[in-house]
């Protein structure tokens, strides 16, 4: 494998950054995870725009290179990949070891990738079955502390949530995803996913007014549902709302749409709305990329 580091391709085993890089020292960095179908990143513009917004939130918006898409394409070509996971990272770069950043930024820009199955109508999911979802005590960091819509290298909140799942399963059979609430107890998202559920013949998902990261896949699913005339409600929901749902699913770039099998041990299962949206999503991928 070859990765793209600061403008050049290098073997994966030589792809390193300085120990004084602020992305390493402080999590002072922005990133995006993308799914590539047929050689093209899905919703590139949306991912690029969100990366830019995160960098601007962190105060180094000018550090995102204009040729970022070319670097992604070069990385895919160097590894002969047309179906892939791609992660793009932009850090504030190497600076003196102090918390206050210098105004002058020489960013570190990294593109890594790995192979994934083909998508679309004849594709295979990356997951091996419906997800078991389990509520955790770890709460989502409020936007007043760290803007929820900023996708930064500081993922300790999600890591702590996933560690809870491991500690709750001494036999090693941990739940697949953590169900995270905000400090008021309202359901917001998974550790690395957005949540949807179906109740009273409507599709429901936590509102972007809450402390959550609105995913690109989430946005596509909402578009697909509304194009079909399905009622979509974005609101504030309790654990009981999710546990008592008729069906539920999770979304992110690599999972696409993953059905939820259980919530806190309560059967939810895959229903007709989930299956239909999975088909519509696959058809969108097929039409745009194959």
How many Cα atoms occupy the beta-carbon half-sphere of 1 within 13 Å?
15
Which of 143, 132, 263, 116 lies closest to 209 in space, CA to CA? Answer: 143
Task: Write the pLDDT tens digit of every residue in 33-59.
Answer: 999 999 999 999 999 999 999 999 999
Task: Please report, rounded to a whole number, the percentage of residues in the chain having pLDDT higher than 70.
Answer: 100
Q: What CA–CA distances, in Å, run from 131 to 79, 166, 251, 256, 269?
A: 31, 15, 11, 13, 9
Q: Would you say residue 171 has pLDDT above 90?
A: no
Task: Please report, rounded to a whole number, the percentage of residues in the chain having pLDDT higher than 90.
Answer: 98
Predicted confidence band of residue 172 (pLDDT cuts 50, 70, 90)? confident
Q: pTM for the full model?
A: 0.96
Sequence-distant (≥ 6) Cβ neighbours of residue 228 within 8 angstroms: 276, 280
Q: Would you say residue 86 has pLDDT above 90?
A: yes
Residue-averaged pLDDT of the chain: 97
Cα–Cα dist 186/210, whole Å: 9
Cα–Cα dist 51/16, whole Å: 21
Strands 187-190 and 40-41: unpaired
Measure the N-to-C terminal CA separation of the chain; round to a whole number of Å: 25
Task: Write the pLDDT tens digit of every residue in 235-280.
Answer: 999 999 999 999 999 999 999 999 999 999 999 988 999 999 999 9
């Amino acid at each position: 494998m070859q990765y793209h580091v600061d403008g050049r391709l290098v073997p994966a085993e030589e792809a390193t950054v300085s120990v004084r890089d602020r992305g390493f020292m402080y999590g002072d960095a922005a990133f995006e995870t993308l799914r590539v179908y047929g050689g093209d990143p899905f919703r590139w513009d949306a991912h690029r725009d969100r990366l830019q917004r995160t960098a601007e939130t962190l105060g180094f918006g000018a550090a995102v290179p204009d040729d970022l898409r070319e670097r992604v394409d070069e990385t895919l070509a160097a590894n002969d990949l047309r179906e892939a996971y791609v992660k793009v990272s932009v850090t504030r770069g190497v600076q003196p070891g102090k918390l206050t950043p210098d105004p002058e930024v020489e960013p570190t820009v990294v593109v890594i990738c790995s192979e994934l199955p083909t998508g679309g109508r004849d594709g295979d999911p990356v997951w091996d079955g419906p997800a078991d979802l389990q509520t955790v005590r770890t709460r989502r960091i409020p936007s007043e502390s760290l803007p929820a819509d900023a996708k930064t290298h500081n993922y300790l909140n999600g890591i702590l949530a996933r560690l809870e799942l491991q500690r709750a399963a001494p036999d090693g059979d941990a739940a697949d995803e953590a169900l995270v609430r905000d400090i008021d107890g309202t359901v917001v998202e998974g550790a690395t996913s957005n949540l949807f559920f179906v109740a009273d013949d409507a599709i429901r998902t936590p509102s972007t007014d809450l402390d959550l990261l609105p995913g690109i896949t989430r946005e596509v699913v909402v578009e697909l549902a509304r194009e079909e005339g399905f009622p979509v409600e974005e609101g504030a929901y309790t654990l009981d709302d999710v546990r008592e749902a008729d069906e539920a699913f999770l979304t992110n770039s690599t999972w696409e749409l993953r059905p939820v099998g259980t919530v806190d041990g309560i059967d939810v299962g895959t229903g007709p709305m989930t299956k239909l949206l999975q088909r519509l999503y696959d058809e969108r991928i097929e039409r745009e990329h194959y």
